[in-house]
């Protein structure tokens, strides 16, 4: 699954990870071998740090955008008690620019529709008769408008609450609603604009990071071999790709072949702490061995 998705961009051609490793050749242009080992490892380290920093910055910018958009989308979804009402109501649902009258929006449970119709005119003085209108419904409630005199608002809110009707604080403001809508469009467009380049950047830089990682593995094989077997350099590096079930058998065969190289390997156990020997919880073999994991991502469909 993962190898078909995770390919490396190598000289403008995509190759899968296993192919790249099996055909591995040291990149002389990127990492000149005339330089010291220390310099080469610093070049690789700087490159990896740069990729990491870029990734953090790009991911952060994209996630902020995504988060802001989700917050706005969340406001436009959910229960009538909490969601934004801007995309539900229309200008004609309100009495606007009146010195005395104001239109309120009330959330009424579906089981309370009949009660609302019977009582809304008497919840406070100065409610305009027959002024209520059902504007919107969700699964549990309906949003009703009602018009009353401004001076009766507080009294109306109090009585509505007693009757299990929820008055929403909402002022019809065309400018604000337009600005919200534009913000949502802008965020949505920006998110789409950033997504493509981000994925392209990830593909290119995944390749760069993986290629750097394999060069580090090659460096480690070289350094470890010199440390173990001394100079002049005399060793052969190779790749083995066993099935999981053959791993144990392969280790046994390799051990029999190379145990003469290091007699201490037989007795060293990864759990033993030997001063000056950094085993980092890996088993120790009479040959230099590094694992390369090609299943870096397990995709769940």
Distance CA(194)–CA(289), nearest Å, equals 42
Q: What global pTM score does this model have?
A: 0.69
DSSP string computed for 132-185: -EEEEE-SSEEEEEEEEEGGGHHHHHHHHHHTT-EEE-----HHHHHHHHHHHH
Phi-psi region of 48 (alpha: psi -120 to 50; beta: other; left: phi over 0): alpha
Q: Which of 44-53, 144-153, 221-230 has the lowest mean pLDDT?
A: 221-230
Burial of 210 (0-12, 13-18, 19+ CB in 10 A): buried
Residue 277 pLDDT level (bands cut at 50, 70, 90): low
Burial of 138 (C-beta count, 10 Å sphere; 0-12/13-18/19+): middle
Q: How many CB atoms lie within 10 A of CB 179?
A: 11
Predicted local confidence at residue 293, as pLDDT? 84
| Phi, psi angle pair for 273, to nearest 5° | -100, 105
Domains of the chain: 91-171 (3.30.70.100)
Residue of higher predicted confidence among 130 and 279: 130
Q: What is the mean pLDDT of residues 38-60?
A: 96
Of all residues in the chain, what percent carry a pLDDT higher than 70?
88
Region 170-174: mean pLDDT is: 91
- Quick one: angle between helices 174-229 and 37-75, nearest 10? 160
């Amino acid at each position: 699954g993962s190898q078909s998705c995770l390919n490396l961009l190598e000289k403008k051609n995509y190759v899968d990870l296993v192919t790249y490793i099996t055909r591995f050749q040291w990149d002389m242009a990127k990492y000149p071998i005339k330089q010291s080992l220390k310099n080469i490892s610093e070049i690789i380290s700087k490159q990896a740090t740069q990729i990491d920093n870029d990734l953090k910055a790009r991911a952060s910018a994209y996630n902020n955008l995504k988060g802001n958009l989700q917050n706005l989308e969340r406001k436009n979804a959910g229960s009538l008690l909490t969601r934004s009402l801007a995309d539900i109501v229309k200008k004609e649902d309100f009495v606007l620019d009146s010195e005395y009258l104001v239109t309120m929006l009330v959330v009424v449970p579906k089981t309370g529709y009949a009660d609302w119709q019977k009582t809304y005119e008497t919840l406070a003085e100065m409610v305009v008769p027959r002024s209520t209108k059902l504007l919107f419904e969700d699964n549990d409630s309906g949003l009703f408008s009602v018009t009353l005199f401004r001076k009766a608002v507080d009294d109306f809110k109090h009585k509505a609450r007693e009757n299990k009707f929820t008055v929403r604080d909402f002022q019809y403001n065309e400018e604000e609603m337009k600005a919200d809508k534009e913000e949502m469009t802008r965020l949505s467009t920006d998110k789409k604009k950033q997504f493509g380049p981000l994925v392209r950047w990830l593909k290119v830089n995944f390749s760069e990071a993986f290629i750097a990682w394999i060069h580090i593995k090659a460096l480690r094989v070289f350094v470890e071999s010199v440390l173990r077997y001394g100079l002049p350099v005399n060793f052969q590096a190779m790749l083995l790709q066993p099935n999981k079930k053959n791993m144990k058998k392969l280790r046994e065969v390799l051990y029999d072949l190379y145990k003469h190289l290091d007699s201490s390997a037989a007795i060293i156990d990864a759990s033993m702490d030997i001063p000056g020997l950094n085993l980092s919880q890996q088993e120790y073999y009479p040959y230099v061995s590094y694992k390369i994991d090609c299943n870096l991502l397990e995709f769940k469909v």
